[in-house]
Amino acid sequence: MSGLAVALVPAFNEEHYVASVLVRLMGQVDGVIVCDDGSVDLTGDIAEAMGATVVRHDFALIWL
């Protein structure tokens, strides 16, 4: 049986670190989904530019 491995990465204002995390992950899995939890920096934009699928929340749900 063969399947796909996808990593889900929660992120909130991680523009300084998201690229290094994605570089490490992308060689290990078939796909990466970043859940941008209302970031006000470039976290989601960086993740998209690196080829990740990005799901964006309008505001940080982590605080709910």
CA distance 48 to 33: 10
pLDDT exceeds cutoff 80 at 61? no
pLDDT tens track for 44-53: 999 999 999 9
More confident residue, 60 or 32: 32
Task: Retrieve residue 14's tokens.
Answer: 């991680």
pLDDT exceeds cutoff 90 at 40? yes
pLDDT exceeds cutoff 90 at 59? no
Coil, strand or helix at 43: helix
For the four alpha carbons of 10, 45, 19 and 43, in that order, the dihedral sign comes to negative
pLDDT tens track for 2-29: 679 999 999 999 999 999 999 999 999 9
Q: Are the C-beta atoms of 37 and 61 separated by less than 8 Å?
A: yes
Q: What is the pLDDT of residue 60?
A: 80
